[in-house]
Amino acid sequence: MTHSTDEMLKTGTRTDEVVLTTDGVSKQYGPVTALSAMSLTVRAGEVRALVGENGSGKSTFVGIVSGTVVPNTGTVTIGTRSLTKHLPVESQNAGVLTVFQDGSLLAALTVAQNLYIGTPAAQRPKYGEISTWASERLAEYDLDLDPLLKVAALAPGDRQILEIVRAVMAKPRLLLLDESTSALDASGVDKVLDLMRLAALQGSAVLFVTHRLAEVFRVADAVSILRDGHYIGTRPAGEVSPKQIVELMAGTKVEMEFPPRSPLHSGAKELLRAEGLEGEKFGPVDLTLRAGQILGIAGADGNGQGQLLRGLATLGVTGGSVTSLGTALRSYRQATRDGIVFLSGDRKNESLFQALSIRENMTAGVLRRLSTGGIVRSGAENRFVDKQIADFGIRLGTPAQPPSSLSGGNQQKIALSKALATEPKVLLIDEPTQGVDVRSRMDIYRFIRACADEGNAVVIVSSDASELAGVADRIVVMSRGRIIEDMPGLGSNEESIVGAFAVESRVVEGDGEPVSEPVPGTDPEPAAGPAAAPVVRRSRIPRWVRNEETTRLAVLALLMLAIGAVTAAQNPTFLSELSLKNVLLIATPLTAVAIAQYFVLLVGGIDVSVGATMSLSVVLMSFLVNTGGIFPNILVAIGAAVVLGVVVGLINAWLVERMRLSAVIATIATLGIVTGVALTLRPTPGGAISYELMSAITRSIGIFPIALIVLAVLVVAGDILLRRTGLGLRVRAVGINGLYADRLGIRATAIRGGAYVLCAVLAAMAGVLLAAQVGIGDASVGEIYTLLAIAAPVIGGASLLGGRGTLIGALLGAVMLALLMTLATVLRISQGVNLLFIGGITLIALLTYVLPLRRNALRR
């Protein structure tokens, strides 16, 4: 690390300047006291560890200081600035940067964009220069990452370090790190500890949460201890032992011995055999699992350990075989039926059902055991849940709450208890103790040992080599996807395991192609022998061609040309000026309302009231602009549309953002109200709209309506704003992940609310365009646009999940739909067949999203 020369790191810069003071901060979640009147000070240049058992309130404290958790009482002072019930952005403005337990990198954005968006405004470069800026900053911190690579393609360890570098390089007054090393291997931990020292050296106060006590003694000046939400005290790191810290955290004496194990014997019954097993980023691997054994899989981060573990459960396998007691396994379903249970390290997405309660999660795998005649016995269920909670020492409010209400370590215990309760024959666990406190970790080792002692096999992947040395009977070390060392667990230690990572390599995931690159400072040649894997070069296809959105727009344009050509072949009058102009006239209000909907979709919302707003706008035009000249009419029309849009948009924003109603439900309610108003004003169609306004708005240059040309110019300008500016990036970030955007100090609520207002104003403007075409006040004329307005941006690349697509896509989608809508007349096909056609095209557009997502999910 360029900054972190040993000499620099040895020099302390501790001063007496107090950076963080908390005064009596506390947090209550229903019956649970997460934090009780915590008062603490941390000084500039100091590295402070914050430790405590799972659920003791560490993340709550970090959340309160960083502004993501609102305390019930107390104040936080950063320097001299006092903050009470503050927002994340206020905390950041005061100089606090936080690396959260579950991160805040946006996987859909590039490394450079993530660096930019997480850097305080004053230190950001011009948006057009972010690639060069990011390259320089990454080089400065010895991070060998391509700034244009999507974060989704980075190995988990690289992501973690990138996030910490991002915070350190901003030189914050206070750097908060919540379990930033929990999934890192030894070299990753070294890097993070160096970064912490560097931050302190630069004058930051550093407060980090960890369960790995060795780190406390390697880097911290002092350690603050929490127990059950109460602050126990702060001790200089040099004046306490690990055992004392564990006992201060637990409030009792703690047994810190790994469960005993016997020497390996190869005669035990074989339970699972992998032969020539291959998958993405690993293989071929031969491995035999025997009854009674715990097998540990070690290796530097990203060398295929996790993928091999999945492969043993038949997940992501591309070659070779897995046999269970002599039977070849063909699917994960078959594997689970044979008692092979895989527990992912991704507890949020894969090992826990977030929408179910803690109780339902715990019993999901054992319902048959707790049921009579297919009905779950609630007494048996409660007894089972209570026993699991007691056995695993889970700290929770009530089992009826969702898993998200638990601290990270307690979620891990639930996931593990759930897997063990199924009494597996082979248990495959990725990072079994990630985020788990020292005392509970020992309990987990005992549970795993008991599982093996009952004649089962357990395989664990762990980034913590000392854990494998303590618990595994046998350890295989992986490098570049292959096993390079097979050693007995008994007699091994952290050094011997880490030393066996003979060939360190990093697997950079990129576009589905494994890229294996030597870590700087190691031999750049591919290693000889079984560990050698081919170095795969980066794709030569230009990035803009690989860009999914560009490809989609090109396909859409080609599809339109193809439909046009087929239609013209059937009916040559289709190419007449009148016919093409007709298509574009139909497309004009549809484009306006599609753009309106796109803004809401972009930030992760949806507005089904746009069609009703268009109708009410048409009705208003029939009252307000039915006489007079062009100029006053246009001004009145625009003024009325803006007022209408602002009122409807504010109602939607209030319902969704303040009242927290689901966007669909809230805007259905608005749809009802707005339609009601329109029908009250015009129960039957009537009221001619000013001819001057109609002719002005429908005027064309050649076949192109001027209004559509104006919209196209706005679309291009809007896309440039969204794609090429920092503001656009922040808006997209809200749609990609609102929670993370909030953590990054982006005012996500205001941006989402603004999108609803903008959407309604544009929908009302679309109503003006429609009024000019229909010429009469009709309260139902906009109905058809409700669904078309959603279909057009989706066809053009927007996603109902937010953060994707382009305005040009929405415009092309609208023109495509207008084209399809005219086919019924031009081709003389029935309305029904025409609708089938429109529905089919929309479905294909949706499937092009779903299928890659599903493919990725399966691969994972």
Ligand X SMILES: Nc1ncnc2c1ncn2[C@@H]1O[C@H](COP(=O)(O)OP(=O)(O)OP(=O)(O)O)[C@@H](O)[C@H]1O
Q: What does the binding site for ligand X look like in residue numbers (CB under 6 A)?
A: 29, 32, 34, 52, 54-60, 395-397, 405-410, 435
Residue whose CB is less far from ligand X, 61 or 785: 61
> Residue type at 632?
P
Maximum distance among all Cα pairs of the chain, rounded to whole angstroms: 99
Task: Quickly tell me which residue has 């303590």 as its tokens.
Answer: 470
What's the min distance (Å) between Cβ of 410 and ligand X? 5
What's the min distance (Å) between Cβ of 449 and ligand X? 23
Residue whose CB is less far from ligand X, 229 or 470: 229
Contact 814, 805 (CB under 8 A): no
Burial track 778-790 (b if 16+ CB lie within 10 A, e otherwise):
bbbbbeebbebbb
Residue whose CB is less far from ligand X, 48 or 58: 58
What's the min distance (Å) between Cβ of 320 and ligand X? 38
739: Cβ contacts below 8 Å, ≥ 6 apart: none
What's the min distance (Å) between Cβ of 50 and ligand X? 9
What's the min distance (Å) between Cβ of 491 and ligand X? 32
549: Cβ contacts below 8 Å, ≥ 6 apart: 797, 804, 805, 806, 809
Residue whose CB is less far from ligand X, 308 or 415: 415
220: Cβ contacts below 8 Å, ≥ 6 apart: 47, 48, 49, 208, 237
**Helix 663-681 to helix 610-624 angle, to the nearest 10 degrees?**
20
Which class for 121: exposed (0-12), middle (13-18), buried (19 or more C-beta within 10 A)? exposed
What's the min distance (Å) between Cβ of 409 and ligand X? 3
φ/ψ (deg, to 5) at 16: -95, 5
Residue whose CB is less far from ligand X, 29 or 447: 29
Residue whose CB is less far from ligand X, 375 or 390: 390
What's the min distance (Å) between Cβ of 35 and ligand X? 7
SS3 484: strand
Residue whose CB is less far from ligand X, 4 or 433: 433
Residue whose CB is less far from ligand X, 73 or 825: 73
Residue whose CB is less far from ligand X, 334 or 405: 405
SS3 694: helix
What's the min distance (Å) between Cβ of 778 and ligand X? 49
User: Which one, of 436, 527, 525, lies nearest residue 481 by Cα?
Assistant: 527
Spatial distance between the Cα atoms of 830 and 252, rounded to a whole number of angstroms:
80
Mark residue 85 as left, alpha or beta (left: phi above 0; alpha: psi -120 to 50; beta: remaining): left
Residue whose CB is less far from ligand X, 55 or 292: 55
How many Cα atoms within 13 Å fall on the side-chain side of residue 112?
Answer: 17
Give first-to-last CA distance, the chain, whole Å: 32
What's the min distance (Å) between Cβ of 408 and ligand X? 4
What's the min distance (Å) between Cβ of 396 and ligand X? 6
Residue 113 tokens read as 């964009």
> Residue type at 605?
G
Residue whose CB is less far from ligand X, 32 or 207: 32
What's the min distance (Å) between Cβ of 471 and ligand X? 20
User: Which one, of 191, 104, 182, 189, lies nearest residue 144 by Cα?
Assistant: 191
Residue whose CB is less far from ligand X, 56 or 786: 56
User: Which one, of 49, 394, 35, 501, lies nearest residue 238 by Cα?
Assistant: 49
User: Which one, of 173, 204, 177, lies nearest residue 189 by Cα?
Assistant: 177
Residue whose CB is less far from ligand X, 32 or 419: 32
Bridge partners of 461? 297, 430
Residue whose CB is less far from ligand X, 95 or 408: 408
The three-point CA angle 198-199-204 to 5° equals 145
Residue 120: asked if its preceding bond is cis (omega within 30°), the reply is no
Which class for 46: exposed (0-12), middle (13-18), buried (19 or more C-beta within 10 A)? buried
Contact 196, 216 (CB under 8 A): no
Spatial distance between the Cα atoms of 60 and 66, rounded to a whole number of angstroms:
10
- The runs of H, that is alpha helices, within 603-657 are 610-624, 630-653
What's the min distance (Å) between Cβ of 402 and ligand X? 9
Residue whose CB is less far from ligand X, 410 or 799: 410
What's the min distance (Å) between Cβ of 376 and ligand X? 25
Bridge partners of 50? 209, 224
Residue whose CB is less far from ligand X, 58 or 159: 58
Contact 321, 276 (CB under 8 A): yes
Run of H or E residues at 667: helix 663-681
What's the min distance (Å) between Cβ of 55 and ligand X? 4
What's the min distance (Å) between Cβ of 71 and ligand X? 12
What's the min distance (Å) between Cβ of 547 and ligand X? 38
